[in-house]
Amino acid sequence: MIEIDAISKRYDGVPVVDNVSMVIEPRTVTVVVGTSGSGKTTLIRMINRLVEASEGAIRLDGEDNRSIPGYELRRRIGYAIQGHGLFPHRTVAQNIATVPGLLGWKKARIDAKVEELLTLFQLEPKTFGPRYPHELSGGQQQRVGVARALAAEPNVLLMDEPFGALDPIIRAKAQEDLLAIQKHFGTTIVLVTHDMNEAFHLADKIAVMDKGGVVQYGPPAELVRSPATPFVETLIGDAERPFRLLSIAKTGAAAEPGDADGAPISEDRSQQEALADLIWSGRDALPVISKNGVPMGRVTLDAILKRAARPR
Amino acid sequence: MRAWAPTILRGLLLVVLIAFLLSPGSFEPLLKPLVQQNAPAIYNQGSLLSLALLHLRTVFIATLAATIIAVLLAILVTRPFGTEFLALSRSLVNIGQTFPPVAVLALAVPAVGFGEKPTLIALFLYGLLPIFENTLTALTNLPRSVIEAARGAGMTNFQRLMQIELPLSLPVIVAGIRLSVVISLATATIGSTVAAKTLGEVIIAGLQSNNLAFVLQGGLIVGALAVLIYDGLSAIEGMLARRTGSA
Amino acid sequence: MCQHGPGAQASGFFIGGESLIGRDGLRVRFDKLGIVIALLAAYGALWSSFATLKPNRIVQGKAGSMLDSLPAWAGWALIGVLVVAIAAALFRASPWIKLIAAVAALAALTLSIGYAATFLTPAGNTYARVSPASGFWILLFAFALLAADAITRLDPPPGMRVLFLLLAAVAIGALLMSGSWNGLSIMKEYSGRADVFWVEAGKHVELALGSLFAAVLVGLPLGILCHRVAPLRDGVLNTLNLVQTIPSIALFGVLIAPLGWIATNVPGAAAIGIRGIGVAPAFVALFLYSLLPVVANTVVGLAGVPRAANDAARGIGMTGRQRLFKIEFPLALPVILTAIRIVLVQNIGMATIAALIGGGGFGVFVFQGIGQTAMDLVLLGAVPTVVLAFASAVVLDALIEMNSLVPNGARSA
């Protein structure tokens, strides 16, 4: 659990982050969104003390993050940034081994960890371990960057626009991978982005920042249903609202008893995908199946449209 | 085929240089036409080999000292503690480069007397500048994301310096050393005007006795040493740069 | 761990507040460079001697402190000025104040050393020599450092920098003309050779500027040729690179023979001043050294012209020649000017070596001084060389900056 308690950061008296308080639950993905200059990057950099707060406190599992030196704190918190920041003079394996090395792990343990992570990120350890970063593609570099951040098995992973430099296809894949990894390790992830689609796709909770303050902090659906300020409304976008709602709900939740014809849809696809399928195939209802392929009923166009309507 | 030519030429140059230093006598017929009758064609007031070694030793000591001090200074002014000195140190490097090596050499004599010492001081001071300038450029132009990542990984300032900043700056530092060495090799010859034992002795003896062969052999040995060392350091630099992916 | 109570918050404020005062207080009050300058100045003033009195020009002398070298009032006045200047350096203040303090200290030092010479020289003794001792040089360095730092922080526009240089030149000129330095050893060396000094100064400038001029005349077309004819580029640049590795004294010496041969065998060559020894080989050697920077930077400058600019020029129907003079050349000018700066500074320094082969220049005094172990004579050669090189660097830097600042459209309009 990360407790952010009335934290502020001022540069020459000008507040960049102004009196922000929020609690981040363990094993969740929290996405901080906002325009550039809203203070979102500064906020997460205060969690691992790359920026020292002017006021307030941040506690990790109840322990003040200033109770140990900054560098020791940072070894316990994963950190991944835009443009990956890989060390160009170290091989992929050496890059991933950075924090375990700093922590003084035994060589065998480090090697095992590197191999595990490379395999997890679908990079063949024998092929990719000895390569230098400049020999990898952009998507591979980004994966190594995240692998490096996870190498010391941190409870918390901070990510600052980690997918900002990737093209849309690789970015979508990287987002899927991240969710899978998060489930695998149960890591608490705090991610900064200005891409609302990314935020809705990844977040358990979204914090919207504007001019140094958090204007709304809650589950994605809540932001769509009751935006706290006009700024949040603008950020979500009028034309996007219904689709945002559908994008964060699973098809299974809209399933009802009954039959339908044609190709089925899996219960864990989003309702937005179900809608797209319905429109594209010109049907009124789709059969829904569970993850193991057991029929669960159907989902109708009507039901989906109702769910996309403004909540009363 | 063409790519090999420079390497073969360098190898040949090295072989000829070593042969000349070990047995200058056998090259006498080549240089004989350049001198008047009865005048010696090969330097006869001392061993060319030992002068070349002394020349190299002087340059090596001065460059080593210059490298240590220049890199330390560049590190100092790029730390938070020394940022106040950063702008000034840049201007000082600019001003320092306008000091001619001969002037530095001549001005060192009153302070330390004749011999190897003023030469070492002049070479040291003049050698500082390119190394300092290059180290400074390298340390201040490192990719931000890499430095951020190093901090984020929990490296202490010292670990970041030793494991990330210096290794990444190494190719550019070596380039500075290379410039410095080439300047020093040539400047060391002038050291012989203040009685330092370098290959400059051969050239000056030639100038005094109007012996073109002396001037030529002294100059060519220094030139050959400079070319070989320059190429050697370029190769090291290229190797380091390739490893960091910057080449 | 619990920090929610009002008490905890108050203590948090207290800690924050104190560290703020402590840290910023130190920053506001003291300047780190000021501390270095103060230490240097203290060492120069207290633990080193100010001026040396020698019975004659080549023997060891007796060094004395400021108060030994000056009458009491002047000694204390100098110390007063230095203390105020050190104070200005030590505390954080506007760069202008620091610059004024540095200039005041430098002026006090230069006037005092001249006065010390008059004061120390026994009346009627023409053999005794007074020269600045280590303390003077350390103090001079310390306050020059302060001035350099102040000017760096002011970051004056190029025109202003040249103005500063002119002011300094006028001040030094006035100092020398006033005769207040006439008692100093270096000026005694000068007064004995005033005629020769200006002849050699002329030769020095002639060598440095003449070889630069020749190098630009040959190097520019050669650079343009190398830019246009790619196969030529590597060969020319590598050859010129090789020339750079030959030590200057050797190159000077090696050129004696062919030039001597030309002088005796080519009719009319001797008449236009070509000789085996003297100015000719030095001139040719400096010319050869100058070629590499000029050619290389011309190539780099032309290669750096944006493709789009060239394409556009071609698109509106410029001929090759028009493109070269109206587009490529103006855009490459700052890089070419940088080469000229490098060459000029380098040539001014290297021209001192010409003295070894009878080429004249300030090197004459340097090498004569070394030969006679008369260090003041060395200074008479070295100081003007350094001043000349420094001044040309300042002027050319200003020129380069002006040329890269002026928008290209404005220049051609």
pLDDT tens digits, one per residue of C129-148: 888 888 898 999 999 989 98
* Range C55-69 average pLDDT: 80
Q: Any chain A CB within 8 A of the CB of C5?
A: no
pLDDT at C408: 42
From B178, B163, B221, B202, select the one nearest B20 (Cα to Cα): B221
Residue A70 to residue A51: CA distance in whole angstroms:
10
Q: Domain range for residue B220? A: 46-243
Q: Is the confidence at residue B152, as pLDDT, over 70?
A: yes
pLDDT digits (tens, 9 = 90+) for B166-208: 999 999 999 999 989 988 898 899 888 888 889 989 988 888 8
From B74, B12, A210, C359, select the one nearest B4 (Cα to Cα): B12
Residue C103 to residue C107: CA distance in whole angstroms:
6
CB A267 within 8 A of CB A288: yes
Instruction: List the domains of chain C with CATH numbers.
Output: 26-188 (1.20.140), 194-412 (1.10.3720.10)
Q: Is the confidence at residue C125, as pLDDT, over 50?
A: yes
pLDDT at C94: 86
Inter-chain CB proximity B244 and A73 less than 8 Å: no
Q: Any chain C CB within 8 A of the CB of A66?
A: no
CATH of the domain at B196: 1.10.3720.10
Side chain identity at C82, as an amino acid letter?
L
User: Which two tokens mark C14?
Assistant: 């207290």
Number of C-alpha atoms within 13 angstroms, CB side, residue A25? 10
Q: Are residues A222 and A256 in the same domain?
A: no
Closest residue on chain A to C8 (Cα): A56
Burial of C183 (0-12, 13-18, 19+ CB in 10 A): buried
Taking the CA of residue C34 and the nearest CA in chain A, the distance in Å comes to 24
**What is the average pLDDT value for chain B, to the nearest integer?**
86
Q: Are residues A100 and A183 in the same domain?
A: yes
Q: Any chain B CB within 8 A of the CB of C375?
A: yes
Angle at C239 between CA C238 and CA C245, to 5 degrees: 90
Out of C242, C253, C386, name the one closest to residue B99 (CB): C386
Side chain identity at B117, as an amino acid letter?
K
Residue A244 lies in a domain: no
pLDDT at C3: 36
Inter-chain CB proximity B152 and A99 less than 8 Å: no
pLDDT at B100: 76
For chain B positions 143-202, those within 8 Å of chain A (CB to CB) are: 143, 145-146, 148-156, 159, 164, 167-168
pLDDT at C22: 41
- Which DSSP letter does residue B25 get? G
Residue A252 to residue A267: CA distance in whole angstroms:
4
From B32, B16, B26, B25, select the one nearest B212 (Cα to Cα): B32
Taking the CA of residue A240 and the nearest CA in chain C, the distance in Å comes to 41
Helix (H, G, I), strand (E, B) or coil at A15: strand
Q: Are residues A26 and A101 in the same domain?
A: yes
Out of B94, B203, B226, name the one closest to residue C245 (CB): B226
Residue A60 to residue A62: CA distance in whole angstroms:
5
pLDDT digits (tens, 9 = 90+) for C144-177: 989 988 888 888 888 888 999 999 999 999 988 8
Q: How far apart are the first and last CA of chain C?
A: 71
- Please state which of the ranges A40-49, A142-151, C386-395, C398-407 shows the lowest mean pLDDT: C398-407
Q: Which helix (H) or strand (E) holds C382?
A: helix C375-405
Residue A242 lies in a domain: no
Q: How many domains does chain A have?
A: 2
Residue A262 lies in a domain: yes
**What is the average pLDDT value for chain C, to the nearest integer?**
81
CA-only gyration radius of chain A, Å = 21
Q: Which helix (H) or strand (E) holds C313?
A: helix C307-315
Q: Are residues A152 and A292 in the same domain?
A: no
Helix (H, G, I), strand (E, B) or coil at A25: coil
- Please state which of the ranges A16-30, A139-153, B113-127, C160-174 shows the lowest mean pLDDT: B113-127
- Answer left, alpha or beta for residue C278, where phi above 0 means left and psi between -120 and 50 means alpha: left
Q: Which helix (H) or strand (E) holds C26?
A: helix C6-29
Taking the CA of residue C323 and the nearest CA in chain B, the distance in Å comes to 33
pLDDT at C117: 85
pLDDT digits (tens, 9 = 90+) for C329-352: 888 888 899 899 889 988 998 898
User: Which two tokens mark B243?
Assistant: 């490893």
Residue B183: phi and psi, rounded to 5, are -60, -45
Burial of A91 (0-12, 13-18, 19+ CB in 10 A): buried
* Range C211-217 average pLDDT: 94
Inter-chain CB proximity B154 and A76 less than 8 Å: yes
Closest residue on chain C to A57 (Cα): C3
Q: Is the confidence at residue B114, as pLDDT, over 70?
A: yes
Number of C-alpha atoms within 13 angstroms, CB side, residue B235? 8
Q: Are residues A71 and A180 in the same domain?
A: yes
CATH of the domain at A278: 3.90.1280.20
User: Which two tokens mark B57?
Assistant: 């030793």
CB B181 within 8 A of CB B150: no
Q: B75: which residues sit within 8 A by CB, 6+ positions away?
A: B135, B139, B161
Burial of C316 (0-12, 13-18, 19+ CB in 10 A): exposed
Closest residue on chain C to B100 (Cα): C349
pLDDT at C274: 63
Inter-chain CB proximity B190 and C256 less than 8 Å: no
Closest residue on chain A to B158 (Cα): A71
Q: Domain range for residue A149? A: 2-237
Q: Are residues A149 and A19 in the same domain?
A: yes
Q: Are residues A57 and A144 in the same domain?
A: yes
CATH of the domain at A23: 3.40.50.300
Inter-chain CB proximity C1 and A63 less than 8 Å: yes
Q: Are residues A23 and A120 in the same domain?
A: yes
Residue A208 to residue A241: CA distance in whole angstroms:
16
User: Which two tokens mark C118?
Assistant: 């008059």
pLDDT digits (tens, 9 = 90+) for A233-275: 888 887 888 888 888 888 888 888 988 888 888 888 888 889 9
pLDDT category of residue C90 using cuts at 50, 70 and 90: confident
Helix (H, G, I), strand (E, B) or coil at B79: coil
Inter-chain CB proximity A79 and B149 less than 8 Å: yes
Query: With contacts defined as CB-CB under 8 Å, which chain A residues touch C12?
Result: 55
Inter-chain CB proximity A55 and C12 less than 8 Å: yes
pLDDT at C410: 38
Residue ending a domain, choose from A237, A265, A296? A237
3-state helix, strand, coil in chain C (%, to 5): 80, 5, 15
Pairing status of strand A2-11 against strand A14-24? antiparallel
* Range B4-10 average pLDDT: 80
Residue A243 lies in a domain: no
Bridge partners (DSSP) of residue C88 are: none
Bridge partners (DSSP) of residue A297 are: A288
Q: Any chain A CB within 8 A of the CB of B141?
A: no
Residue ending a domain, choose from A180, A204, A237? A237
Inter-chain CB proximity B203 and C249 less than 8 Å: yes
Interface test with C, best of B98, B107, B121, B207 (most C CBs within 10 A): B98
Most confident of A1-10, A282-291, C319-328: A1-10
Q: Which chains touch C (3 or more CB pairs under 8 A)?
A: A, B
Inter-chain CB proximity A89 and B244 less than 8 Å: yes
Query: With contacts defined as CB-CB under 8 Å, which chain C residues touch A63?
Result: 1
Out of C1, C4, C16, name the one closest to residue A64 (CB): C1
Inter-chain CB proximity B245 and A84 less than 8 Å: no
Q: Are residues A159 and A181 in the same domain?
A: yes
Interface test with B, best of A68, A98, A137 (most B CBs within 10 A): A98
Give strand ranges (E) for A161-272.
188-193, 205-210, 213-218, 265-266
Residue C374 to residue C378: CA distance in whole angstroms:
7
* Percentage, residues of chain A above pLDDT 90: 52
pLDDT at B30: 78
Residue B95 to residue B83: CA distance in whole angstroms:
19
Burial of C7 (0-12, 13-18, 19+ CB in 10 A): exposed
Q: How many domains does chain B have?
A: 1
Out of C245, C352, C357, name the one closest to residue B103 (CB): C352
Write the CA distances from C401 to A199, B131, B193, integer angstroms. 48, 25, 39
User: What ipTM was estimated for this complex?
Assistant: 0.80
Q: Are residues A233 and A254 in the same domain?
A: no
For chains A and C, count residue pairs whose Cβ atoms are closer than 8 Å.
11
Residue B186 lies in a domain: yes
pLDDT digits (tens, 9 = 90+) for B27-62: 888 777 777 777 787 888 888 899 999 999 999 999
Inter-chain CB proximity A5 and C3 less than 8 Å: yes
Residue A203 to residue A217: CA distance in whole angstroms:
11
Strand-by-strand arrangement of the C62-64 sheet: C62-64, C51-54, C129-132
CB A107 within 8 A of CB A144: no
pLDDT at C409: 39
Residue C87 to residue C191: CA distance in whole angstroms:
38
Write the CA distances from A69 to A73, A277, B148, B150, B161, integer angstroms. 6, 53, 17, 16, 18
Q: Any chain A CB within 8 A of the CB of C17?
A: no
Q: Is the confidence at residue C15, as pLDDT, over 50?
A: no
* Range C209-236 average pLDDT: 90
From B127, B132, B130, B128, select the one nearest B75 (Cα to Cα): B132
pLDDT at B115: 83
Residue A256 to residue A237: CA distance in whole angstroms:
30
Give strand ranges (E) for chain B.
none
pLDDT category of residue C275 using cuts at 50, 70 and 90: low
Side chain identity at A79, as an amino acid letter?
Y
Q: Any chain B CB within 8 A of the CB of A132?
A: yes
List, as own/partner pairs, every contact residues A201-204 make where C-beta atoms lie below 8 angstroms and the sequence separation is at least 24, other chains included: A201/A175, A201/A247, A202/A29, A202/A31, A202/A175, A202/A178, A203/A29, A203/A30, A203/A31, A204/A25, A204/A28, A204/A29, A204/A30
User: Which two tokens mark B83?
Assistant: 């940022």
Inter-chain CB proximity B227 and C33 less than 8 Å: no
Q: Any chain B CB within 8 A of the CB of A82?
A: yes
Residue C407: phi and psi, rounded to 5, are -65, 145
Q: Are residues A227 and A295 in the same domain?
A: no
Length of chain C: 413
pLDDT category of residue C294 using cuts at 50, 70 and 90: very high
Residue A89 to residue B164: CA distance in whole angstroms:
8
Inter-chain CB proximity A62 and C16 less than 8 Å: no
Q: Are residues A289 and A212 in the same domain?
A: no
Q: Is the confidence at residue B102, as pLDDT, over 90?
A: no
Q: Any chain C CB within 8 A of the CB of A64?
A: yes
Q: Is the confidence at residue C14, as pLDDT, over 80?
A: no
User: Which two tokens mark C409?
Assistant: 């459209």
Q: B186: which residues sit within 8 A by CB, 6+ positions away?
A: B222, B226, C245, C246, C247, C248
Q: Is the confidence at residue B160, as pLDDT, over 90?
A: yes
Interface test with B, best of A50, A76, A82, A87 (most B CBs within 10 A): A87
Pairing status of strand A295-300 against strand A285-289? antiparallel
